[in-house]
Amino acid sequence: MSHSLEFLKSQEIFLVKEEQKLATKFKNGVSFNQTERHSNPLRIIRQALQKIRFSKDYGVCEECGENIPIERLRAQPMAILCVDCRDAAEKKAEKIKRTMPEARQSSIMGMANV
């Protein structure tokens, strides 16, 4: 962990605020839409807090183990990947989306391609 304690502290404060905001939202009956449920923001925030407080690997890319630059963490406090790994992951997801839509659609409609 090479990010400074002050930086981690400020990120923690931000994340705690975000967590409270979201928790209140859900208490008031707002539910996740399809995409949000897939990547539950509350869970992501709690994971980030967990990393700051316990595992001490906050700000370290989960893919390559490099430190995620502070500028990126400031803009995206929940980031778990560095820019390179995120781009690679996005490209992979893009590819899956491009090759999968028909298959997914037909199974939803109950017309599996057999």
85 within 8 A of 64, measured Cβ to Cβ: yes
Minimum CB separation of residue 93 from Zn ion in Å reads 16
Minimum CB separation of residue 74 from Zn ion in Å reads 17
78 within 8 A of 97, measured Cβ to Cβ: no
Minimum CB separation of residue 61 from Zn ion in Å reads 3
Per CB under 5 A, residues contacting Zn ion are: 61, 63-64, 82, 85
Q: Which is nearer to Zn ion, 64 or 100 (CB)?
A: 64
Q: Which is nearer to Zn ion, 49 or 82 (CB)?
A: 82
How far is the C-alpha of 1 from the C-alpha of 67, rounded, in Å?
8
How far is the C-alpha of 89 from the C-alpha of 81, rounded, in Å?
9
Q: Which residues face 67 on adjacent strands?
A: 60
Q: Which is nearer to Zn ion, 52 or 79 (CB)?
A: 79
